[in-house]
Amino acid sequence: YYLASKIAQVSEWLPFGIYWIDTRETDKASGLMTITAYDAMLKVEQDYTDNTGTYPMAMSSAVAYICTQLGLTQDSHNSVAGYTIDSPTGIYTMREVLQYIAAASGGNWIITESGALRLVKLASPTASTSVGCGSCDVLGSAVTISRVTLYPDGNTKYTAGNDTGYEISADCPYATQAMVNALLTALSGVTYLPVKATDTLINPALEIGDPVNLYGNQTVMAD
């Protein structure tokens, strides 16, 4: 890990993740290898099969069941919404179930460096780490969330908030008006600035969801 191109400052070894390599190419001139690899999130793209569960099932229990089925551990920071799901057996994939639970919880799932399943919730950047980069392209204006909308099916929607800012919308067959109201309370006023940075010099201890400052542009780490 190099903090600068001219003066090599090496940190301690830190885990970067657990991956399965798909392709690899080595540049003959530089000797650098380019790897295309996937983490354990690829495992969730399979049918949800459960013949022993009791439904309605707590969303947290469904996440625990999926982790057990796939041999994953849960991150200790997870805070899953306290709602329930109907049986998704033979209807949804594990990815879809996790997607809907993430929508109900106001976040997104990632696989951490240690291979654990983590729920990263949407939040405004706070005190952030300055990150050097070769270029920083701001892809739009900063947006502030003012409305939340969930679609339980193609003919129904639950919404809360106003149109003064940005709307967060997602599919969630388990949606209720109470769920949307709670999400609005949690997400109203959250800001996000879409930024693309290249040739970054990132501290390997930074994680998805952490706030960063790119040449004065406050945002969060995203993938």
* Token pair belonging to 9: 């400052």
pTM for the whole structure: 0.83
Residues paired with 169 in a beta bridge: 149
What are the pLDDT digits (tens) for 12-32?
A: 666 678 888 999 999 888 888
What are the pLDDT digits (tens) for 61-117?
A: 999 999 999 999 999 989 999 999 999 999 999 999 999 999 999 999 999 888 999
